[in-house]
Amino acid sequence: MTIIKNVPFDLANTRVDKAASELFPDFSRTQIKKWILDGRILINGDLSKPKEYVQENDEIEINPIEEKKVSWEAQNINFDVHYEADDFIVINKSPGLVMHPGSGCYDGTLANGLIYRFPELASLPRSGIVHRLDKDTSGVLLIARNEKFRNYFINQMQTRSIKKEYIAVVVGSTLGSFSIEEPIGRDRFNRTKMAIRSDGKEAITRVKLNESIKNYSILDIAIETGRTHQIRVHLSAKKLPIIGDRVYDPGKSIGKGSNEKLIKIIRSFPRQALHARLLSFTCPTTEKELSFELPLPKDMQNLITDIKKHS
């Protein structure tokens, strides 16, 4: 039995355990706290801790009788470490790798693997994960190795001092550069999706055409905000759906004039063709800019080659 409630205005900036106790008065605060620790209470689908704070419209999901618990334990998970420093680790995230345990994915995640390979990360919130990539998005991902750097990086994100760039392969054509500034919030009809909403949170995406291939495009993308599914939602709204995005392009759009071979290639691509290409930030010690860039993975390289070949 799952019960979901949204955090009202008067409970914003309140500890998770207190807010959940107010919203679910049938259960004691002691029981609520235990369920949070057991992984039976999730915030926006993610594992939380009792002392973390919720914001207005956050979703609190409670499952008081579910026996399967979210596991935040060490597991030997395969992932690629691109760079190691004393304060942080840079991961080359592969598509299909879930960031951390939550609703519908109880273990076997990057977070479980991080604790296995770097045991000291067990003492940090979310195993040091300070920003996210969707399960099927590949690319550069930074992990904090201590609380001091974690707080620094989070502050840099909040002040929009972190540079994040992506590459997407989309259906449709466009010219030059443009910005998408549409607020994003939870979809009213499907809690696993996001949508453009007038009452949503500010979201800013900068888009530049990298290459046009008839009715398909390769786009360079920079984001100033980090909303859930931001790039996917914004591009879909502009009639430029990302190839392979089953959530925001369920009809599997095809560019006009595509032959049967290309249609088959596009519709069989197994994940959204979105790659986090670059991450840059100022080093807190040297005050110099650090930049980490990862090339397109093989599957996206092959996709682009096939589109050019069959267009």
Q: Side chain identity at 140, as an amino acid letter?
A: V
Q: Could you tell me the residue ranges of all domains in the chain?
A: 3-62, 80-158, 163-310
Same fold, 3-62 and 163-310: no
Q: Side chain identity at 4, as an amino acid letter?
A: I
Q: Using H for helix, E for strand and C for coil, what is the string for the chain? A: CCEEEECCHHHCCEEHHHHHHHHCCCCCHHHHHHHHHHCCEEECCECCCCCCEECCCCEEEECCCCCCCCCCCCCCCCCEEEEECCCEEEEEECCCCCCCCECCECCCCHHHHHHHHCHHHHHCHHHHECCCCCCCCEEEEEEECCHHHHHHHHHHHHCCCCEEEEEEEEECCCCCEEEEECCEEECCCCCCCEEECCCCECCEEEEEEEEEECCEEEEEEEECCCCCCHHHHHHHHCCCCECCCCCCCCCCCCCCCCCHHHHHHHHHCCCCCEEEEEEEEECCCCCCEEEEECCCCHHHHHHHHHHHHHC
Distance between CA atoms of residues 40 and 68, nearest Å: 8
**In whole angstroms, what separates CA 116 from the centre of its chain?**
22
Considering only 5-19, 64-78, 148-162, 267-281, which range has the smallest mean pLDDT?
64-78
**Is-contact 140 277, C-beta < 8 A?**
yes
CATH top class, domain 3-62 = alpha beta
Which pLDDT does position 186 carry in this prediction? 85
Farthest CA pair distance, the chain: 63
64, pLDDT greater than 80? no
Which pLDDT does position 48 carry in this prediction? 82
Instruction: With cut-offs at 50, 70 and 90, classify the pLDDT of residue 22.
Output: very high
Mean per-residue pLDDT over the chain, rounded: 92
| Closest CA relative to residue 185, chosen from 272, 276, 59, 101 | 59
238, pLDDT greater than 60? yes
Task: Please give the model's pTM, rounded to 2 decimal places.
Answer: 0.79
Which pLDDT does position 47 carry in this prediction? 81
Distance between CA atoms of residues 248 and 232, nearest Å: 7
Which pLDDT does position 1 carry in this prediction? 64
Q: Exposed e or buried b for every residue in 268-302, given b needs 16+ CB within 10 A? A: ebebbbbbbbbbebeeeeeeeebebebebbebbee
67, pLDDT greater than 50? no
Please, what is the end-to-end C-alpha distance for the chain in angstroms?
Answer: 50
Q: The domain 80-158 is classified under which CATH number: 3.90.550.10, 1.25.60.10, 3.30.2350.10, 2.60.120.200?
A: 3.30.2350.10
Long-range contacts of 153-156 (CB under 8 A, 24+ apart): 153/88, 153/281, 154/130, 156/281, 156/282
- In the CATH scheme, what is the code of domain 163-310? 3.30.2350.10
Above pLDDT 90, what percent of the chain?
76
Say which residues have a Cβ less than 8 Å from residue 164's Cβ, sequence separation at least 6. 222, 223, 226, 276, 278, 279
The residues annotated as belonging to the active site are: 134
